[in-house]
Structures are given as C-alpha cells and as structure tokens.
C-alpha cells in the first residue's frame, strides 16, 4: 500500500506568494513552453493560458507555424522563440516527440538541470534519455505505456475495483519514479504526486469531476510550469525533488478547485473568491449547482482560486 498525504489549503498558502515591491517579470519566473503541433494546435493555447493564469512573469513559446499564430492571436503576452528560462513545459499536444521538428530541443530540455514538466508525447523521451529534473504527468494509459517502454511492464485494471485500481496505479507510479529518479504526477479524480525516495505521496482529491474533458491536462501542465519557474526564480539554489513535488501538488490542487469554480460559474453562479475560500476551507461541504466546462473555462478560473488562497481566512 502506498502511503499518501492529502494536500490541503494550508499547504497552498505556504507556497503561493503575491508579487512584492521589487519583483519584475523576470523575478516572477520565465516559463518556456514547447507544446502543441500542427495536428493539435489548441494544446499550445491551453498550456500557455495555464501558465499565464498561474502567474508566469514572462513566457516563451517554441512551436510550429500554426500553433504559434494561434497562440499570438489569443495571447499576445507570449514571446515566440527560445531563450533564458527558469522552467519548461514540453509535450502537451505533441503526438510523438521523437518525430517532432523540435525533437533536439525537447531532448536537451529533458537532460538539462532545468525544472521541466514532461507531458503527453514527450513522455516517450524518458526511456531513451537521461532525465535530470523532470515532473512526468501521464494519465493512466500513458503511465501504462511509459512503464512498458521502461521495461517495468503494465498493470491491467480490468475487473479491478476503484480502490484496487488506485492502489495499483500508485505502485506503478512509484516504480516509474524510482526507476527514472523523476517525480511522477498521475492524473485523475484522485491525483497522486510520487517523489523518488519519499515515504509518502501527495494526494489531491478533486471536489468535482467536471475537469474530465479534453484539454484540461494541457492547462495543468502550463500552470505547473509557471509555479516551477516562479519557485526557481526566487531560489538561490536549484530546486530539489521535494520542492518540485510541492509545486506540482500546488498545480494539481489549484487545477482541481479551478474546475470546481468554473463548474459553479457554468450554472450561472457568479461565485466570488470569498465563496471559493469558504469551499476550500470546508471541502467536504463544497456544493452548489454545477454544469459542464471547457478547458479554457478552467484556465479563466485559476486567478480566482489563487486570489482566494492568498486571502486571509
């Protein structure tokens, strides 16, 4: 059995900071995103939107023509091209990183000491590179595929109950983390963040399940990248695995509450940061009418969740 520790509001308050008098776009963190593709250009917009909503001070985007044009038309704050960065996000909306035009840059990012979120099509690079400072963000089928590529096998969840499924997925994530030396965030209604060598995994139980829709994982990847960049920019030393795991957990927690907030708004409820704070303080009592959301709705709700987190109880 994998021991878990719930990530809670007090944890988030310890990690979320507001800009101070001497802060600039650079001290708030530079985030580089190599996401999206000609086949899935929307993932580029959603991952960039997640990073901006998460408070990225400066954002760079590296991608092909169609997603680049789409990003600039929707998010003019983004700067196109590579360069100095405090953290990176790669893979969201990329079918195969090995076949992508950015393959060389993606491999270099995986093997640098730069905190890097590795998502979707970039996960295949983990098996044939030497990853240095990565957070792997697979969903269940991607975790299966990655385990197989690493020679760890797969775990079938057919005929397994919900509790058993969570247990075996936790064990599988632990195996991948220990084998690669990298943090593994396994996405789902109950998100686990497993750190190699750590005795417990962080656990985020979603207050609603409206985030189960296309593109929300892209938003999550971008948001975690922004949190990592901010933490790295504030630190005089490279981030440790433990520090990176806390930022990944913060991203998953904010993401879960942003989905809840967006779902409340979908019902016509003009929910305020004060009401979000009340729900976060008493998650067992979080209720209200809710409706379907899109990934972009979730991204728009992130600033409200962060404002609630920063507010005094």
pLDDT band at 244 (very low <50, low <70, confident <90, very high): very high
Confidence of residue 156 (pLDDT cuts 50, 70, 90): low
Q: Is 195 annotated as a binding residue?
A: no
Known binding residue 308? Answer is no
Q: Estimate the share of the chain in helix, then strand, then coil, as percent rounded to the nearest 5.
A: 50, 10, 40
Q: Look up residue 99 and give its DSSP letter.
A: G
Average pLDDT (127-134) is: 95
284 among annotated binding-site residues = no
Q: Is 190 annotated as a binding residue?
A: yes
Please give the CATH number for the structural domain made up of 4-310.
Answer: 3.40.1190.20
86 assigned binding-site residue: no
Residue 158: pLDDT band (50, 70, 90) is very low
pTM: 0.95
Supply the pLDDT for residue 161: 52
Report the side by side order of strands in the sheet with 79-80.
Answer: 4-6, 201-205, 190-194, 183-186, 134-136, 116-118, 87-90, 30-34, 58-61, 79-80
Q: Does the annotation list 189 as a binding residue?
A: yes
Q: Is 93 annotated as a binding residue?
A: yes
Q: What is the pLDDT of residues 174-214, one digit of tens each?
A: 999 999 999 999 998 899 999 999 989 999 999 999 999 99
187 is in an annotated binding site: yes
Q: What is the mean pLDDT of the chain?
A: 93
Handedness of CA 37, 229, 275, 190 (dihedral sign): positive
Q: Tell me the per-residue pLDDT of 17-76, one tens digit each, with 9 for 90 and over.
A: 999 999 999 999 999 999 999 999 999 999 999 999 999 999 999 999 999 999 999 999
Q: What dihedral angle (degrees, nearest 10) is formed by the CA atoms of 117, 73, 297, 89?
A: 0
- pLDDT, position 101: 95
Annotated ligand binding at 255? The verdict is no
Backbone φ and ψ for 138, nearest 5 degrees, come out as -85, 150
* Residue 262 · residue 234 · CB < 8 Å: no
Q: Does 157 score more than 70 pLDDT?
A: no
Q: What is the pLDDT of residue 163?
A: 53
């Amino acid at each position: 059995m994998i021991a878990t520790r719930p990530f809670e509001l007090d944890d988030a308050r310890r990690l979320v900071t507001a800009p101070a008098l001497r802060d600039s776009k650079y001290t708030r963190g530079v985030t580089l995103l190599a996401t999206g593709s000609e086949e899935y250009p929307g993932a580029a917009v959603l991952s960039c939107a997640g990073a901006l909503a998460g408070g990225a001070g400066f954002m760079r985007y590296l991608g092909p023509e169609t997603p680049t044009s789409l990003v600039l038309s929707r998010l003019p704050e983004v700067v196109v091209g590579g360069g100095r960065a405090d953290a990176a996000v790669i893979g969201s909306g990329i079918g195969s990183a090995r076949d992508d035009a950015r393959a060389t840059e993606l491999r270099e990012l995986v093997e640098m000491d730069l905190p890097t979120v590795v998502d979707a099509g970039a996960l295949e690079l983990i098996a044939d590179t030497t990853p240095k400072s990565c957070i792997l963000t697979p969903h269940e089928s991607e975790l299966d595929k990655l385990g197989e590529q690493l020679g760890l096998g797969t775990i079938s969840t057919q005929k397994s109950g919900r509790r058993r499924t969570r247990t075996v997925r936790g064990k599988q994530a632990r195996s991948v983390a220990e084998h690669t030396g990298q943090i593994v965030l396994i996405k789902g209604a109950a998100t686990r963040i497993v750190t190699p060598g750590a005795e417990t995994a962080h656990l985020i139980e979603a207050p609603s399940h409206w985030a189960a829709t296309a593109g929300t994982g892209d938003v999550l990847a971008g948001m975690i990248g922004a949190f990592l960049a901010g933490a790295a920019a504030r630190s005089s030393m490279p981030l440790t695995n433990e520090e990176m795991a806390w930022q990944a957990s913060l991203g998953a927690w904010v993401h879960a509450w942003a989905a809840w907030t967006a779902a409340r708004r979908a019902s016509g409820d003009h929910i305020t940061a004060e009401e979000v704070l009340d729900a976060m303080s008493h998650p067992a009592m979080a209720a209200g009418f809710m409706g379907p959301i899109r990934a972009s709705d979730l991204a728009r709700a992130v600033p409200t969740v962060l404002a609630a987190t920063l507010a005094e109880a």
